[in-house]
Amino acid sequence: MLAGVILLSLLLASPVYATDKNTLRIAASRSIVNTAVLEPLLQDFNTLYPDVRIQLDSVGSLQAHDLAREGKADLALTHYPPEDERLFEEGVVTKRSQFMYSEFAVFGPPGDELGLLQEPDIKGVLRKLAKHKAPFIVPSPHGGTYLKIGELWAIATVIPDWDWYENTDTTPLGTLRLAAEQGAYAIADIATYINKQDELSENLVPLYQGGYELRNVFSVMVVNPKQGNDINVELANKLHDYLVSDRGQEVINVVNREVLKTPVFVAAAHLDPGLLAEKTRKDLVEANRQFLILVLFTGL
Residue 77 CB burial class (10 angstroms; 0-12, 13-18, ≥19): buried
> Global pTM?
0.85
Question: Considering only CA atoms, which of 102, 89, 87 is closest in space to residue 38?
Answer: 102
Query: What CATH superfamily classification does 23-101+217-281 receive?
Result: Periplasmic binding protein-like II (3.40.190.10)
**Angle, to 10 degrees, between the axis of helix 233-243 and the axis of helix 38-48?**
120
Q: What is the residue extent of each domain of the chain?
A: 23-101+217-281, 103-214
pLDDT at res. 6: 34
CA 172 – CA 80 distance, rounded (Å): 14
Domain range 103-214, CATH class: alpha beta
Domains 23-101+217-281 and 103-214 share a fold: yes
In sequence order, which residues have a C-beta less than 8 Å from that of residue 175 and are 6 or more positions away? 137, 138, 139, 145, 168, 186, 188
Phi and psi (nearest 5°) for 219?
A: -115, 150
pLDDT at res. 300: 52
Pairing mode, strands 215-223 and 185-189: unpaired
Phi and psi (nearest 5°) for 26?
A: -115, 125
pLDDT at res. 280: 73
Could you tell me the mean pLDDT of each successive run of 10 residues in the chain, 300 residues long? Answer: 40 51 95 92 97 95 95 96 94 97 97 96 98 96 93 97 92 95 97 93 96 95 95 98 98 95 94 78 72 72
Helices vs. strands in the chain: H and E counts, helices first: 12, 10
CA 202 – CA 110 distance, rounded (Å): 8
Helix (H, G, I), strand (E, B) or coil at 68: helix
pLDDT at res. 276: 74
CA 156 – CA 123 distance, rounded (Å): 4
